[in-house]
Structure 1
């Protein structure tokens, strides 16, 4: 992949450069407090969030598939990264992030960008809201100024810690947090172009520093001073043992990173009336997440809020994202010592607002109100995200979605015995025509409607196999409305054909769509059935079936299932060659 002045950079000029520069400056300023806040909440030092912001931000803009995507650390990653740091340590977090980058890279190369879009909406809403709750509650301690808390992976254990240490509440921290929160909420009403998080962070920090210094915990007092230098390149020790240990966290990081980045790209498309390349976006995300850990950065993805800010600020090309990364780098080099004085209580409201905005509370309530199976999937995914972990939540959510889908689809498959309708101009087959007195004993015609896959294949076989007791001479399956067939469906169809063949019954198929026919070719079943037994038109299939009748059995038959039956049942024409011979 190479940088080209076609496509995303086509027609680039000085005026667009100026717009990108302004937009990059604004987004870079917005990204600085968020980068530090996300890193702290993830259990790592704040400078690692800044490293991620400028390294991943530049790479995602350079190699990604969205024109306006802004990449960096995001709130969605916080519970996952915190859990990895707690369980495996920071060094292993870097390895998991690198592995996730490799996974994303290959997903893009093998054009799997569209696959992520098929994750059910109740699952994504469920775990996104669960993540929001985890982020919000995780900042209560900093908001209240509680200290000496032990950090746990479990939600209930962390809530218990809050109760145990509630007596250590710090009124100065609450005051600082409230000032920051008010400014975050009021600033957009004054000007939408001024980042409220930055205003709240700076002014509340200034108030704390001037009026009650040393009364609240700061970044410097808790994590040490932020270095004002470039991070050194460090290659984590990648061993097979570590790969096996971290493959599951890496897959979760890759999955969530892919979902978040593509969702952000879709939002950007809607705002800018552009169209992103999902596979290229995954490649860009993969490259960024492979290189960022070498600088000590945490996993990154597309950030919806920052991407929206980028577009609203007048961005014209991916250069705005590159400039945003450069701005963060310059601030790190020039103003790092000042950042060490920022109170943790000033960071808490920023993350709480992020959690509130990402919670999808309206969609959550809407799905719950439907009181459908999706509501159950949503609620279970949400509860498991909060009370266990995201891995378990997604696995169970997807499994429940599959079960519900299979159950729903199995109810849609129908088989019905039919005969030509004499009152229809074109004599289309219909089920209501079949009665005990109007039913051919030699030819059985069935319409099959619905996807023929593993969830319904057994029921399909049973419904057709019941017909074997009537000893028909020929079975015609009209499969026009079978849009999909898997290998299980083909296997059960094969069993039907073998059983009927054993009872000297021929099976013919009409109007079979392209995908099921292709599946029969791949399994070799079309050769077993025989090319002559496939028909594009059911009328032709019926005419063919009539040529296979045992005429002596037709004599005296009063069922009159077909218009030819009166002629064939007449004893006077027994020795006359019929048009069906």
Structure 2
């Protein structure tokens, strides 16, 4: 079936990626998928709990959405699932609208995402200024870290409020319930995640100086078995090491800390049930702001992640429209199984690449691995301390934030600084919805201001009965006021004038710009003069001809 040019064909990347698929590639995808599946378990639980949901909501989102995004997406190696960027949004929606309305809002956002891709709007997301992206990313990172202080410090707060100042007030009011054991576990988790990769991984040779010397000594004393064991340990993901060791440590010592079991009663060892949330159009209209936020954030996160994956992998570039359609289907489906919003995830995608993934088969394997782990080992999850999961999320927040951008602000323009700092503060103090709306509006205003400053009208010659002007730049609605000096010259002239506009450097013209030229022409003719335009480029000429203005003026 031939689709109109403005509609995108539905072509999942997996079909082209499997062309010439070999056993060696399958082995790489299988190993990468299993690695990412194990890494995804603690992160999925942590994201869900931080969002005010049960841990299984994050797990089944990672399984269902992750599988659908891999199967139907436009990227070869992107891993989808719950993401840290959604924590603040989801928590706020649950607090304000309740869990059933979160499910409806997520499903509606899925429809919007699919339509964005189907209507070939995937490239529009790239037009969001990088200053806004950096601002709200850093703001979200701060809010994620702030939201985890409750479990990281072991504070006994029944329910954390959603807004920034209320959270600060609640934390300060409950500092008397501080738990040193919880802080120790959380800090150990954070430090372990930071240090583990540095013990074995090097940017050049695969090992750092310490490990290289250790291996050299092993080889010198013929410690072959120990050498093999060290290399095997180096392949174990840091999150799994932290999760298992700290959970066992807390369990053996009977540390007085909250766990998944004490707060949520564990994780069901069964598949999720399909259930339709109560739906009405009145509810959909009420949920329009959070729905747009979920869709916008999901689109930006997934496509940014896919672009990074392209740069790291060297594989064929992703299809942004197909990726958005897959994200839409995934977000439409997961709410019916009690899931949360999903998008492309940077940490798991990079882990997938480093583990050797070559196709979407790795993403499918990640989902299947995670499902098997949950079905087999779900009862063990009840012993996981919440402080350990808080340590995971503090690490996520630390890696998410682009903190160096604050130190480099002086290198950028005042417009960049205003957009970045404004979006950051609005995200932290209010919420991401307000930050995105105000940030994009401010970006448009600043863009109009900058473009209008580039338009110039320069008087090049004047005699008793004629005046010449040179036009530079784009004459659009934001720059029409700069024609006022020309009108003033015409209106103050003692007699008829020949007004010549040299448009050789006029790059573009919009309806407002055309209207001000029409008004100038009327003023000139009213005083018995003539308006001559010379050197018109293609776009301004087309606008004038289409409106019939070109036939009314003299052109050279």
Same fold (TM over 0.5): yes
Q: Judge conservation of contact 2:544–2:550 (CA < 8 Å) in 1.
A: no
Aligned partners of 1:182 and 1:200 also within 8 Å: no
Match of 1:422 in 2: none
Alignment counterpart, residue 269 of structure 1, candidates 310, 318, 323: 310
2:551 counterpart residue number: 530
Structure 1 residue 257 displacement after superposition: 0.8
Instruction: Quote the residue 1:452 is aligned against.
Output: 475
Residues 1:84 and 2:93 aligned together: yes
Aligned positions, number: 512
Range 105-114 or range 79-88, more displaced: 105-114
* Shift in alpha-carbon separation, 1:286–1:461, aligned structure 2, 3 A: farther
Instruction: Tell me the secondary structure at the aligned position of residue 482 of structure 1.
Output: strand
Structure-2 residue corresponding to 1:549? none
Alignment pair present for 1:315 and 2:357: yes
1:491 paired with 2:515, answer yes
**Alignment partner of 1:463 is 2:505:** no
C-alpha displacement of 1:6: 5.3
Q: Which residue of 1 aligns with 2:377?
A: 335
Counterparts in 2 of 1:275-314, with a 5 A limit? 275-314=317-356
Relative to structure 1, the CA distance from residue 482 to residue 328 in structure 2 (aligned partners, 3 Å threshold; closer, same or farther) is farther
SS in 1 for 2:114: helix
| TM-score, length of structure 1 as denominator length | 0.84
- 1:448 match: secondary structure: strand
Q: Which residue of 2 aligns with 1:43?
A: 52
Once the two structures are TM-superposed, the CA of residue 384 in structure 1 deviates from its matched residue by: 1.3
After superposition, the C-alpha distances for 1:329-369 in whole angstroms (9 at most, x for unaligned) are 11111111111211101101100010011111012331256
Change (3 A) 1:341 1:496: same
* Mapped pair 1:507 → 2:528: no
State the Cα deviation string for residues 472-503 of structure 1 (Å, max 9, x = none): 55433222333332222222222222322333
Tell me which stretches of 4 or more aligned residues in structure 1 moved more than 6 Å.
none
Q: Distance in 2 between matches of 1:445 and 1:194?
A: 75
Question: In the TM superposition, what is the alpha-carbon distance from 1:324 to its structure 2 partner?
Answer: 0.8
- Alignment partner of 1:298: what SS? coil
Structure 2: how far apart are the matches of 1:281 and 1:413?
A: 39
Contact 1:180 1:203 in 2 (8 A): no
CA RMSD of aligned residues (A): 2.0
Q: Deviations over 1:367-422 (max 9, x none)?
A: 2564623212222211111111111112222222222222222221111123xxxx
Q: What TM-score comes out, normalization by structure 2 length?
A: 0.88
Question: Partner residue of 1:61?
Answer: 70
Q: Which residue of 1 aligns with 2:224?
A: none
How big is the shift at 1:119? Answer: 1.4
The offset of 1:174, in angstroms, is: 1.9
Unpaired runs of 5+ residues, structure 1, are 419-433, 535-540, 542-581
Question: Which runs of structure 2 are paired with 1:120-135 in the superposition (5 Å)?
Answer: 120-135=129-144
Tell me by how many angstroms 1:4 deviates.
7.2
> Larger relative CO (CA 8 A, sep 6+): 1 or 2?
2
Contact 2:490 2:523 in 1 (8 A): no
Q: 1:508 to 1:330 in 2, by over 3 A?
A: farther
Q: Which residue of 2 aligns with 1:162?
A: 171
State which structure, 1 or 2, has the greater radius of gyration over its C-alpha atoms. Answer: 1
2:267 match: secondary structure: coil
Q: CA deviation at 1:305?
A: 1.4
| Uncovered stretches (5+) of structure 2, i.e. residues with no partner | 1-9, 202-234
Look up the match of 1:565. Answer: none
Contact kept, 8 Å, 2:13 with 2:74, in 1: the verdict is no
Matched, 1:116 2:116: no
